[in-house]
Chain A
Amino acid sequence: SAVISQKPSRDICQRGTSLTIQCQVDSQVTMMFWYRQQPGQSLTLIATANQGSEATYESGFVIDKFPISRPNLTFSTLTVSNMSPEDSSIYLCSVVWENPNQPQHFGDGTRLSIL
């Protein structure tokens, strides 16, 4: 089956710094998304990563804080900017493989801790 790879798998960062998370898939996908899962909580959609154009952000999430790129059909990045302890979460990439009506599948996630 197709593979969704996220890097890094985990990191510990200082407040005020930024971290870029990569999501790479081994075949072309129609849609890519970024989610956040705060400790003990469920998943919340941050944004839809659009190929070749600006991401579509959900309410409560802004581009200055979470810039997203998607230069092609197999790769996307999420940057968490000017981090604070409240940004400590798991960040997950998800994809829809071919038909937009198909379910989403998740990468392994990036576990981020901010000191």
Chain B
Amino acid sequence: QKEVEQNSGPLSVPEGAIASLNCTYSDRVSQSFFWYRQYSGKSPELIMSIYSNGDKEDGRFTAQLNKASQYVSLLIRDSQPSDSATYLCAVKKGAQKLVFGQGTRLTINP
């Protein structure tokens, strides 16, 4: 079992709809979770961090964490073509090590 698992996609969503990205992790003691966006040919860019159970909203983005189910998700409301990218889920392991999932490739169709 991989430490961090994501559906690799591709996930295709019409413009204006909600894109839902999911991630599960295996280490029950993990406390810090991150979503990075990576455009093709670019480096990862942090878009959300979440540390407590529940929802965290930032503009069109909402991160959801359920530690009991070991599940993290990212919702993107009012999806735009500029949201088309690969989204990487990362879980902090130990003091600072990040373990990344394989990434989900998201395409927003105009």
Task: Give complex CA distance A90, B99 in Å.
Answer: 17
Establish whether residues B96 and A31, one from each chain, have CB atoms under 8 Å apart when the complex forms. yes
Q: Tell me how many residues of B have a C-beta within 8 Å of chain A.
A: 19
Which residues of the partner chain A approach B49 to less than 8 Å between Cβ atoms? Answer: 103
Contact of B102 among A42, A45, A90, A103 (CB under 8 A): A42
Q: Tell me how many residues of A have a C-beta within 8 Å of chain B.
A: 22
Min Cβ gap B95→A in Å is 7
Query: Which residues of chain A (31-66) have a CB below 8 Å from chain B?
Result: 31, 33, 41-45, 48, 58
Establish whether residues A109 and B43, one from each chain, have CB atoms under 8 Å apart when the complex forms. yes
* Known A103-B34, A108-B43; contact A42-B103, beta-carbon cutoff 8 A: yes
* Known A42-B88, A42-B101, A103-B34; contact A96-B44, beta-carbon cutoff 8 A: no
Establish whether residues B102 and A100, one from each chain, have CB atoms under 8 Å apart when the complex forms. no
Which residues of the partner chain A approach B45 to less than 8 Å between Cβ atoms? Answer: 106
Min Cβ gap A71→B in Å is 20
0/1 interface trace, chain B 89-110, chain A, CB 8 Å (1 if under):
0000001111111110000000
> For the complex, is B60 an interface residue (Cβ under 8 Å from A)?
no
Min Cβ gap A47→B in Å is 10
Task: Give complex CA distance A109, B40 in Å.
Answer: 12
Which residues of the partner chain B approach A58 to less than 8 Å between Cβ atoms? Answer: 97
Min Cβ gap B101→A in Å is 6
Which residues of the partner chain B approach A31 to less than 8 Å between Cβ atoms? Answer: 96
| 27 A–B pairs (Cβ distance < 8 Å), ordered by A | A31-B96, A33-B96, A42-B100, A42-B101, A42-B102, A42-B103, A43-B88, A43-B98, A43-B100, A45-B99, A48-B96, A48-B97, A58-B97, A90-B43, A92-B44, A100-B96, A101-B32, A103-B34, A103-B46, A103-B49, A104-B46, A104-B96, A104-B98, A105-B46, A106-B36, A106-B44, A107-B43
Q: 9 tightest A-B contacts by CB?
A: A106-B43, A42-B100, A43-B100, A109-B43, A42-B102, A103-B49, A106-B44, A103-B46, A108-B43
